[in-house]
Structure 1
Amino acid sequence: MTNLIASLAEISDRYDAVFCDLWGCLHNGRTPFPAAVAALRAFREKGGQVVLLTNSPRPRSSVQAQLGGLGVPEDIWDDIVSSGDASQYALLSGAVGQRVHHIGAPKDEVFFTDLPGDAPDPAPITRVPLADAEGVVVTGLRDDQTETPDDYRATLLLMKAQGLPMLCANPDLIVDLGETRLYCAGALAQAYEAMGGTALYYGKPHPPVYDLARRRLSARTGRDDHAILAIGDGINTDVQGGIGEGIDTLFVTGGIAAHEFGPDPARPDPARLTAWLQEQRLSPTYAIPFLG
């Protein structure tokens, strides 16, 4: 049974670390949410560790720069772990071969340039045209402001004909930029799998990104027995991933699924929430309208 709460402070004493999603929980792609900033700051001031766990396809340093540009203060988090980080380790391990084709926006070029220095014996990676590729790395749509997955149907069919595996660096399907809904790399991976193609995932809800987050958390604290709370608005990423990891989850109802719970995102209808969660066959430990 999911417990609907009003603030993180109600339950924060039960945890010494949180894995907190970014888009939809801490910011909307344009500005940070003041209540979420205050909640995470209060958690840290009580001694808690805050790991920002995001499905961004870009590495930690790029995510940090983006947060700074949005005005998110650095005193509310201890570390950042991204799907891009985990996907880079997979790429350098040869998960989709050494000759790869990239699908994504120019802003995602950092995925190939800002590489982790601790990857064991990284494979040399060469970027090539699709016809010469052993695999494809998808960080997102080339122009998510105007394109949809339908624009990539011919490309995906060609990939399928060549038997190319896809490394999906962001499992999210959609994200809301202010009031605008945009498609993410996960939407292309979903379309590719529907054609019978193979897509590999390393972000939420899949284990590699959680393994990386736990390792970094343990490196900071010198222990590995943390009571962790996963926070997010993605039922099939944040919540499903947390449940799969055996950790408690806090579902933010006012994010991408807000329309499911009534006309006022600040006051989700408990009956509609319960029915919707039953349809999803997932039961977060807690739910909250907005992180605060």
Structure 2
Amino acid sequence: MTPRIAGLREIADRFDAVLLDQFGVLHDGRTAFPGAVACVAALKAAGRRLAVVTNSGKGAGPNRDRLAALGFAPDLFDAVITSGDVCRGALAALPQSASVFVIARDGDRSALAGLALRETADPREADAVLLAGAEPERMTQDGYRALLAPAAARGAPLFCANPDLRMYVRGGTAFGAGAVARDYAATGAPVRWFGKPHPEIFAAALAALDTAPARAVMVGDSAAHDVGGAKLAGCAWVLVEGGVYAGAAQDVPESGGWAMASLAW
């Protein structure tokens, strides 16, 4: 059975750095979870280096702004590492003027800013697809399948900048961009994945904090993304049980980390 802790104070002195998931650990997209701001402040006061490591298709700037709006002072975090920024590095390697069909939340195009790429509104002519986020409030999963079918048929690679399978929506949870990308991959078309559990985002976070993997702990609510990615990176982990996957059956290892009900000091 996975060992349990009531708060991070029980293990904080074992680590130099703490990697924090965003959605489901710090907040639900609208409100900071009770005790989350106080916990982050206590970790900072205890001298821990802190990074938000988030499967967000947006860049660090918009995510810092959102965290600040929810009550997390900007100086609490030493780094904000997003899957969107990691994906942007791969997009930069596409041929100049390649056409990219973009799916994102809130009209965000930050992953393309400054790149010599051409956005297209027609998936039938796309050289590549950027999937930065899904909007299940606006389109069904079947709708996304139909929308992307022409791009998949011509073998356009899909860059998935947010591999989360579930996400918060008003009033509950729904499918995330990762589920859309999984459907695309099922057609046989190529998909490149960025973010947790893949190693690049953990390497970027550890480099930003100048911390060895063995001296860092990942705190997240997904056994597949946060725990699985931490294990691949050589980090310890804490699974928060009350996040996006609350109540869902998750395959949680019995060693290498801890479980806790919600983020607390």
Q: What is the TM-score with the length of structure 2 in the denominator?
A: 0.91
Rounded to whole Å, the distance in 2 between the matches of 1:169 and 1:237 is 14
2:244 to 256, 263, 270: 256
Paired residues, number: 262
Question: Which residue does 2:145 correspond to in 1?
Answer: 153
Rounded to whole Å, the distance in 2 between the matches of 1:136 and 1:126 is 11
Q: Do the aligned partners of 1:96 and 1:136 also contact (CA within 8 Å) in 2?
A: no
2:130 to 105, 119, 137: 137
CA 1:77–1:178: 2 relative to 1, 3 Å: farther
User: 1:105-149 CA distances to partner (integer Å, 9 max, x unpaired)?
Assistant: 343222222x5xxxxxxx6211123222211111123x3323221
Rounded to whole Å, the distance in 1 between the matches of 2:260 and 2:95 is 38
Q: Which runs of 4+ in 1 moved over 6 A?
A: none
Question: Which residue does 2:172 correspond to in 1?
Answer: 180
* Greater share of residues in helix: 1
Corresponding position: 1:289 with 2:261: yes
Q: Do the aligned partners of 1:101 and 1:130 also contact (CA within 8 Å) in 2?
A: yes
Rounded to whole Å, the distance in 2 between the matches of 1:5 and 1:225 is 21
Question: Which residue does 1:59 correspond to in 2?
Answer: 59
124-133 or 23-32, which deviates more:
124-133
Q: Do the aligned partners of 1:16 and 1:226 also contact (CA within 8 Å) in 2?
A: no
Question: Which residue does 1:245 correspond to in 2?
Answer: 233
In structure 2, stretches of 5+ residues that fail to align are: none
Rounded to whole Å, the distance in 2 between the matches of 1:111 and 1:160 is 21
Rounded to whole Å, the distance in 2 between the matches of 1:76 and 1:97 is 39
Question: Which residue does 1:228 correspond to in 2?
Answer: 216
Instruction: Give how far 1:101 is off.
Output: 1.3
Instruction: Give how far 1:3 is off.
Output: 0.8
208-217 or 52-61, which deviates more:
208-217
Letter of the 2:178 counterpart: G
CA 1:94–1:63: 2 relative to 1, 3 Å: same
In structure 1, stretches of 5+ residues that fail to align are: 116-122, 261-275
After superposition, the CA RMSD in angstroms is: 2.2
Rounded to whole Å, the distance in 2 between the matches of 1:51 and 1:95 is 32
Question: Which residue does 2:22 correspond to in 1?
Answer: 22
* Structure 1 counterpart SS, 2:247: helix
* Structure 1 counterpart SS, 2:112: helix
Structure number with higher relative contact order (C-alpha < 8 Å, ≥ 6 residues apart): 2
Q: What is the TM-score with the length of structure 1 in the denominator?
A: 0.83
* Structure 1 counterpart SS, 2:145: helix
Letter of the 2:131 counterpart: V
Between the aligned residues of both structures, percent identity stands at 33
Rounded to whole Å, the distance in 1 between the matches of 2:53 and 2:144 is 28
Rounded to whole Å, the distance in 2 between the matches of 1:225 and 1:168 is 25
Q: Do the aligned partners of 1:9 and 1:39 also contact (CA within 8 Å) in 2?
A: no
Rounded to whole Å, the distance in 2 between the matches of 1:196 and 1:97 is 25
CA 1:97–1:238: 2 relative to 1, 3 Å: farther
Rounded to whole Å, the distance in 1 between the matches of 2:15 and 2:190 is 38
Letter of the 2:232 counterpart: G
* Structure 2 counterpart SS, 1:26: coil
